[in-house]
Amino acid sequence: MRRGRSPGFRLDVGRSTFPGLHPVVRSPLLDSARTVDSTVTVARAAPALNRLPEHHGIGTVSTPCHHSDVDRTPSISPTHRERVDLCPGVQRPWPAEDGALVRLRLIGGVLSPAALAGLVEVAHEHGDGNLHLTKRANLQLRALPATDGRLAPRVVDAITSTGLLPSPSHELVRNVMVSPLSGVVGGRTDLRPLAAELDRGLCADPVYAGLSARFLFLLDDGRGDVHGRTCDLGLVAVDSTHGQLRIGDAWGEVVPLSESVDALLALARDFVSARGAGPTAPWHVSELASPLRAPEPRDPRTGSLTAAPAYGVVPDTDSRVEHVGVPAGVLTPELAAALLDRRPRRLLVTPWRSVLVEDRIV
């Protein structure tokens, strides 16, 4: 156990004392906690020590926000790089002042209850005790022990046991964001199977390990909740069977969804070839000297941008899904226990630094 951890901590996930999602969680750590919005008890957020900047301008706060409806026009602006990107992972931790920082990529934000429980234990035993949500719907662990730029083997083993490191060779490039409620409620189609297929395709070919760790794939199911964010490659559903590609700052062709993963992988392969290697290689599609494909007009069916859902029970889900804010993006042991207390089917981390809790269908 790391110094400073409360020796009496136990992840106690008994029955909730409230009908909502914010039960009182039994833990000695509550003695040092503070209350936010009178319903969620959280520990104080860790200081921003050597915090890595988020990328692609996805600036949000921990409450739902609106995005302006901005059309995308081709913009090729070559950027001269002088070093490789430094986005952290388990195999490449970031040396922050409070210890090593690692980022765990969640495909479309999907997080199983077992994986969350495992990460809570990792954070308690080896880190600062908290999990940290990012604006790309990923998770970070802080204050981990490392020597000569490498995590302690016992920490790597503990993280690997959660199942969130399926391909160590490709962990840095598994950056796939999906409309958080896709496949849950609303949207034109469920894009989560395509996200999983895209992830398998990335991990199956060593070529894609040559992508920048800041390279982002974005899949919007047509509701417009994420396609206003900058990405490298993406897809926006225009109906239940077709989607329009996004290629950097430009729009690509409309393709059948059944062919979309192959199209995205082909574009990613072309980017790896075009960027080259070494410290001067571009990180993003928009930094290439010439476009990967000729731009296409934006399909009007891509529609306007929409806001994140309000916190609380998500409409039209028969009260099965609840949107829970995570103050300052810091998921404390108490809040994690409250989420697990519902025995959810799955958890969906969002790019709004919040969590969607999906209950099992009884």
Give the pLDDT confidence score for residue 78 in this predicted structure.
54
- Tens digits of residue pLDDT in 77-133: 556 788 889 999 999 999 999 999 999 999 999 999 999 999 999 999 999 999 999
- Tens digits of residue pLDDT in 35-54: 333 223 233 333 333 333 33
Q: Where are the CATH 3.90.480.10 domain residues in the chain?
A: 1-62+87-165+313-362
Q: Which CATH superfamily is domain 1-62+87-165+313-362 in?
A: Sulfite Reductase Hemoprotein;Domain 2 (3.90.480.10)
Rounded distance, CA 196 to CA 31, Å?
Answer: 41
On whether the pTM is more than 0.85, the answer is: no
Low-confidence ranges of the chain (pLDDT < 70): 1-79, 361-362
Run of H or E residues at 195: helix 192-204
Asked: is 167-306 a CATH 3.30.413 domain? The reply is yes
Closest Cα partner for 21 from 352, 309, 347?
347
Instruction: Read off the amino acid at residue 10.
Output: R
Give the pLDDT confidence score for residue 361 in this predicted structure.
64
Q: Where are the CATH 3.30.413 domain residues in the chain?
A: 167-306
Per-residue tokens: 113? 């209850």
Residue 199 · residue 211 · CB < 8 Å: no
